[in-house]
Amino acid sequence: MSRFAAPIAEQIWDMKYRLKAVDGTPIDGTLEDTWRRIARALAEVEQDQAHWEEKFYRALEGFKYLPAGRITAGAGTGRAVTLFNCFVMGTIPDSMGGIFDALKEAALTMQQGGGIGYDFSTIRPRGAEVKGVAADASGPLSFMDVWDAMCRTIMSAGSRRGAMMATMRCDHPDVEAFIEAKKDPARLRMFNLSVLITDAFMDAVKADAAWDLTYGGKVYKTVQALDLWNRIMRNTYDFAEPGVIFIDRINKMNNLAYCESIAATNPCGEQPLPPYGACLLGSINLATLVSAPFSPEAQLDVRALDELVSLAVRMMDNVVDASRFPLPEQAAEARNKRRIGLGVTGLADALLMVGLRYGSEAAAAQTDRWMKAIARAAYLASVDLAKEKGPFPLFDAEAYLASGTMMQMDEDVRAAIRAHGIRNALLTSVAPTGTISLYAGNVSSGIEPVFAYAYTRKVLQKDGSRTEEEVVDYAVRLWRELKGDAPLPDYFVNAQTLPPLDHVRMQAAAQKWIDSSISKTINCPEDISFDAFKEVYMAAWDQGCKGCTTYRPNAVTGSVLTVSESSEKAPTELPQAGQGAEVVYLSEPLDRPAALEGQTYKVKWPGSEHALYITINDIVIAAHRRPFEVFINSKNMEHFAWTVALTRMISAVFRRGGDISFVVEELKAVFDPRGGAWMEGRYIPSILAAIGGVIERHLVSIGFIEGEGMGLKSDPKAEVVAIGARPGRTCDSCGSSDLRMVEGCMTCGSCGQSKCQ
């Protein structure tokens, strides 16, 4: 019998986690082989390897413990990859040489697949004096543009999609420009942005007091704190960024406050880290630990939870020694503190199984109890490891126990740490689990509510045919098995019908026992008022959260798959196969008419003997022109092979329909390491970027996009839709409209594609 609950789970395993040879031949023959590979790799540092391999295998079996994607895909492969998910890079020096050294480190880290975070508050503001060169500083945002271009270049080389977090302090003189940077739709696309909010700033907001913007001891400007806060809120309301990070709270609660200072997080915010900080991730699947689900006797098996957490902590501690690191500074930081980020997934499903409505006070109280049990078990397991293998090198008992997190821990745990030390400085975090949750049978992600109960997914097969398959939430599938066609109870709620303040209540309940932080998205309805939206952020502050991320669908951010707009509460009947939301893959290719209209453009690249001639032909649909094919010709035979390949690929994309404006974006992002050229008064980084610019100007001229650097204007062939849902963005990987902002990251529910996993 297959271990996979649904075809999508097996497809994700095969695509992302199954070990294969270079030619694509599977090495992991079965899912059990994958679990065995991971267990064996993480047991290699143990003295009794056979004993611990078997223990680790049992923890992985049945998807009870889910290591993060990099561990699942990389452990035991013999490949030069990092098993760590999160990095915060070194402090950026306020000098040209230091800035570009930091850029190089970021590129090396991203090349190995690490998501990175940076604090740009250390760079002097725009207009500040640069001594010795008789010039004014360009400011941190100009250097963020350089980072953004670097990330695009890494992506264009075929590496994993990059993910970066940029932070800036709320008292930096350029914070206003930082807050509004995402108003430009073409700028900083590779970054998530968050403002570092201090306690003093929040006090000033509540008092409507003046607030100084300073750098290097100089006050550059004074604003009203409430005005600055409202500016953050307005841009987040309209553009979904920036987020907010309550940085003083993070540092006060940090177990390592005595030996480090935090000013940034990883891209999804669940890991506040010091310079060169790194953290690995893994999740306890709570949905697999509920006994007698949907009955009066339903409860989480606390004994099984305690044993599973203990094994997970040992496995993750071993990863610290088993992993490679992009930079030696990251290796030293990880091994000196041995940070791990053990979290959960399936919380919402587990709550449903014990009869609790996600977001209710009872559910929040139960979440508090479960998360405390996990924290206790994790800390005590780490103490046991310290007895056996020694505490982390920078352990200082009194300083460690004086931190905000440890002050609220039970006295027996504190006494054990005081007596024996602890192996891992920090242990808990709730990370994005979108992909691994699908792989584990579509359990609810992290601490998020269930997104959708069930939907039908159309899958494009290798022979060109399409098959339908139903993707059902883990708890709903279990309900069907136990209850048949009985309607769902009214406590089944989902992300679309849940009031935003219920989201906050759940995040705050979990945060109390998480020593790092939580990646969570608070879904807000499109019609939420601005005042009610601001209340969400203030509630997050008042209730003890370490940060806040919201998502409000609108014309700028795009819509996501939703329940029926006519429904005001959770449905009480299950959608049957073939009904409900339907996710449709890319449309059939457009047919070519006998004749097409088009334009030919000449591009003369400096230093090249022969010009390129680029012909773009259009098709007319519903009185609108859209590009159909492209041809590139040149007398320079050196270009022949790649120009033919490029024209075929671009034309194939054009003929698929939908929003193809991303082709321009990708071409314009290509940098030639030999150098670009100045053309028509602007710097063009490569000949491919020049071709992208020509295509972009053509799309503007026919009215397909609004303008240079802007998005789609109208699309008469947009056939990538979700039936029963509002049309919105589509997945770059599979074309599905089932995109969800989950745990701070846009994630595809159909194929699991996410820049965070």
- Which are the catalytic amino acids? 266, 268, 270
Rounded to the nearest 10 degrees, how much is the dihedral formed by the CA atoms of 319, 324, 330, 332? 70
Contacts (Cβ under 8 Å, ≥6 apart) of 726: 553, 559, 562, 565
How does strand 547-548 pair with strand 243-246?
antiparallel
Nearest CA to 559 among 742, 751, 730? 730
**What stretches of 669-712 show up as alpha helix (H) in DSSP?**
687-701
Whether the upstream peptide bond of residue 125 has omega within 30° of 0, thus cis, is no
For the chain, counts of helices (H) and of strands (E) = 24, 30
- Say whether the peptide bond before residue 242 is cis (omega within 30 degrees of 0): yes
536's CB contacts (< 8 A; 6+ apart) are 500, 501, 503, 504, 522, 524, 548, 550
- What secondary structure does DSSP assign to 377-397, as a single string? HHHHHHHHHHHHH---TT--H
Let me know if 391 is exposed, middle or buried by CB neighbors in 10 A (0-12, 13-18, 19+): buried
Question: Rounded to whole angstroms, how far apart are CA atoms 94 and 129?
Answer: 12
Distance CA 316, CA 312 (A): 6
- The residue to which tokens 């989201």 are assigned: 503
The dihedral over CA atoms of 444, 447, 451, 452, expressed in degrees to the nearest 10, equals 30
Phi, psi of 294 (to 5 degrees): 60, 35
**DSSP, res 62:** G
Tokens found for residue 102: 């930091």
- CA atoms within 13 A of residue 463's CA, in its CB half-sphere: 3
Interior CA angle at 715 toward 748 and 625, to 5°?
Answer: 145
Amino acid identity at 644: V
Rounded distance between C-alpha atoms, residue 144 and residue 43, angstroms: 41
Report the distance separating Cα 151 and Cα 162, nearest Å: 6
Angle of helix 31-43 relative to helix 49-60, nearest 10 degrees, comes to 140
Terminal C-alpha separation, the chain: 28
What distance in Å separates the CA atoms of residue 38 and residue 53, rounded to the nearest whole number?
A: 9
Tell me the C-alpha distance between 271 and 290, whole Å: 28
Q: Which of 109, 754, 201 is nearest to 445 (CA)?
A: 754
655: tokens are 């003929």
**Cα separation, 12 vs 102, whole angstroms:** 35
φ/ψ of 194, rounded to 5, equals -145, 140
Distance of CA 353 to CAs 155, 286, 328, 482, 607, Å? 42, 10, 46, 11, 68
Side-chain half-sphere CA neighbours of 275 within 13 A: 13
Mind spelling out the 3-state secondary structure of 132-201? CCCEECCCHHHHHHHHHHHHHHHHHCCCCCCCEEEEEECCCCCHHHHHCHHHCCCCCCCEEEEEEECHHH
